[in-house]
Amino acid sequence: MELIRLSYRSVRKPTTSDDIVINGIVMPSIRRNAREDVTGCLWCGPTRFFQTLEGPREGVERIYADIERDPRHTDVELLELRPIDIRSFERFSMKLIRARESDEIGRLVDATRPPGAADAAPEPRRRTAMQAIIDILIGAPAERMP
């Protein structure tokens, strides 16, 4: 079975409250991701999302197709889609990290433009920024769920 990692960023709509994030996004994602054998992490800033999904290609791609159509955010940009040997978030169907826009992840997310974008960083720098985000997310404490 091929494992992949998919990461994207998007703009959080102002109407997407923290309650909607937890009860409308994270809790249903925990259940669905478990069914699809997908793990991952959602970083949630006041105006942005960054999410990484890991698992079998078919499950990750099904979930991402639904994410792209989700009306609670806009400007979904695929940042990374690549094979992996091991999962970074194997303990989490969906790890949630809430953050301030000024935190290090927010700065890195700003610096990471999708491949092919006119202002995208050179590939080695983009990959380094992506890995830095993943490393920070791995070490960050998860939010407690209600």
Q: Is residue 104 part of a domain?
A: yes
Is 58 within the bounds of a domain? Answer: yes
Categorize the per-residue pLDDT at 99 as very low, low, confident or very high, splitting at 50, 70 and 90.
confident
Is there a contact between 45 and 10 (Cβ–Cβ < 8 Å)? Answer: no
Single-letter amino acid code for the residue at 70: D
- Alpha helices per DSSP H over 16-142: 18-19, 27-36, 57-69, 104-111, 123-139
**Would 77 be classed as within a structural domain?**
yes
Lowest mean pLDDT among 23-27, 64-68, 93-97, 102-106: 102-106
Between 35 and 110, residue with greater pLDDT: 35
CATH number of the domain where residue 105 is located:
3.30.70.100
pLDDT digits (tens, 9 = 90+) for 25-49: 999 999 999 999 999 999 998 889 9
Angstrom distance (rounded) from CA 10 to CA 75: 5
- Report how many domains make up the chain: 1
- CA–CA separation, 3 vs 141, rounded Å? 25
* Residue 146: inside a domain: no
Mean pLDDT of the region 77-91: 94
Residue 20 resides in a domain: yes
Would you say residue 124 has pLDDT above 80? no
User: What pTM value is reported for the model?
Assistant: 0.89
In a domain, 33, yes or no: yes
Strands 39-44 and 73-84: unpaired
Question: What is the side-by-side order of every strand in the sheet holding 95-98?
Answer: 73-84, 3-12, 48-56, 39-44, 95-98
Structural domain boundaries, residue 22: 3-139
Q: Is residue 145 part of a domain?
A: no
pLDDT at residue 125 is higher than 80: no
Phi, psi dihedral angles at 89 (to 5 degrees): -120, 40
